[in-house]
Amino acid sequence: MIAGIGTDIVEIQRIQDALTRLPTRFPKRLLSGPELGYWETLSKRRRAEFLAGRFAAKEAMGKALGLGLGSLHPQQISIMLGQNGLEIEWLDADSVEYSGDSWHVSISHSDTSAVAFAIWEKF
């Protein structure tokens, strides 16, 4: 059963501006350990795009939960590309209630924006 849906859009330039102001702090506040490791391998342009996509995806997931990103800690959610698309892993013990559920997340980019859509299924 679908328990919630969420969507979000982020301007990539906004993320680039945050990276300029907080080059190490901002990614550490948004990304999980596995995401941060992958992010560090990317080019400067791709880094801002990746962060914008992950920000939008985590915000969309928060909206699907009815919480928004302010009530979640972005580092507790890891969104990594797997064999069958994006794989969602909840890393924080406080979020274990969501880890058994099914999440479907899609991220897309244009030259200027990143958009994400999330569906939360409860069993």
In the chain, where the domains are located: 2-121
| Architecture of the domain defined by 2-121 | Alpha-Beta Complex (3.90)
Residue 109 pLDDT exceeds 90: yes
Rounded distance, CA 98 to CA 50, Å? Answer: 24
Stronger pLDDT, 72 or 98, i.e. the higher one: 72
Residue 68 pLDDT exceeds 90: no
User: 44-64 and 12-21 are packed helices; what angle lies between their axes, rounded to 10 degrees?
Assistant: 110
pLDDT of residue 53: 98
pLDDT of residue 10: 98
Range 64-82 average pLDDT: 85
pLDDT of residue 8: 97
Rounded distance, CA 23 to CA 59, Å? Answer: 21
pTM for the whole structure: 0.91
pLDDT of residue 98: 65
Active site residues: 63, 109
Question: Within 10 A of 58 (CB to CB), how many other CB atoms are there?
Answer: 28
